[in-house]
Amino acid sequence: MSASLAIDVRGLTKRFGKRVVVDDVDLAVAEGEIVGFLGPNGSGKTTTIRLICGLLRPDAGEGSVLGLNVRTQSAAIKRQVGYMTQRFSFYEDLTIAENLSFVARLYGLKPVEEAVAKTLDGLGLSSRKDQLAGTLSGGWKQRLALAACIMHQPKLLLLDEPTAGVDPKARREFWDEIHRLAGEGLTVLVSTHYMDEAERCHRIGYIAYGRMLATGTVEEVVRGSGLVTYIVHGALKPEQMRALSAAEGVEQVAPFGASLHVVGTDREKLAAALEPLRREPGIRVEPGETSLEDVFIKFMTGAQERAA
């Protein structure tokens, strides 16, 4: 494994009974990089993360995490990884400080009081250290969970949909913190459903039905999708919408405010489908930029069709 890669795994496969949940997945993440992990529910994101951090043993595949063998050194990997799960998993009848003291003892951090104080200060939790965890808002619970994940100073942070149900301000503050940590050398792999969060990652990977479909920067993934997008401005009648959606070459029609995003992979067929609208009064058609959400929908639709 290259010394600059925190994660370098190939052919990861995991089965539960006859069902293949992770199917021959390759993933490489450089040290200090933030990689977004996208995919629909049930796509294998959580299982892949658990394989990487040593909580599950792969049925096939090989590679290294933090220079350690993913198959034979899972215990050592766990000690150097912070894993933030989807659910808030701390004691709600304990204070923030008490929860962090418990975590510090689990990791064998000494002196405990110093480790807790440093973590409280680093995540801006000192003013709320005596507040019961069960009374915290979603954003503060998220901050507590992040604090518990990084207090043992891991080299790799794995985040499984960490901002689900959190308001936009708290999400932005969370991501500012993630970028600060990455700037200090921490490597981050984060699964998310939010396109704006994916766009804040250095690179992204898209997984569906256990298979990795695309990896790269957002620009590379969008460009590699082969999608063409047009914007239709103006009010369309219901019958026009139905005709456009059914036209050859049109793969997606999505309202955005008072306009429509019309997406396809064949530029000529898409232009032909839109030609009748160009002649309509009050309707304007112009080329647009393909969004990551357009690509996400294409991948998800294609994966569902293959699975069916």
Which residue from 59, 78, 55 is spatially nearest to 68, judged by alpha carbons?
78
Mean pLDDT score of the chain: 91
- More confident site: 88 or 135: 135
Residue 14, both tokens: 């995991």
- The model's confidence at residue 41, banded by pLDDT at 50, 70 and 90, is confident
CA–CA distances in Å: residue 134 to residues 94, 122, 166: 8, 21, 15
Over range 182-192, report the average pLDDT: 94
- Taking the C-alpha atoms of residue 32 and residue 188, their distance in angstroms, rounded to an integer, is 7
Strands annotated E in the chain: 5-16, 19-30, 34-38, 60-65, 68-69, 81-84, 156-160, 187-191, 203-208, 211-216, 228-233, 252-256, 259-264, 284-288
- Residue 302 above 90 pLDDT? no
- The model's confidence at residue 3, banded by pLDDT at 50, 70 and 90, is very low
Over range 281-307, report the average pLDDT: 86
Over range 167-195, report the average pLDDT: 91
Query: Which residue, chain included where needed, has tokens 């808002």?
Result: 137
Residue 7, both tokens: 């994660």
- Residue 141 above 50 pLDDT? yes
Segments making up each domain of the chain, as ranges: 5-222, 228-289
- Residue 1 above 60 pLDDT? no
The yes or no reply on domain 5-222 and CATH 1.10.10.60 is no
pLDDT of residue 184: 92
Q: Maximum Cα–Cα distance for the chain, whole Å?
A: 75
| Residue range 235-290, pLDDT digits in tens | 888 898 899 999 999 999 988 888 999 999 999 999 999 999 998 899 999 999 99
pLDDT of residue 308: 59
- The model's confidence at residue 306, banded by pLDDT at 50, 70 and 90, is low
The yes or no reply on domain 228-289 and CATH 3.30.70.330 is yes
SS3 state of residue 4? coil
| Residue range 201-243, pLDDT digits in tens | 999 999 988 999 999 999 999 999 999 999 999 988 889 889 9
- Residue 2 above 60 pLDDT? no
Least confident of 49-53, 176-180, 277-281, 304-308: 304-308
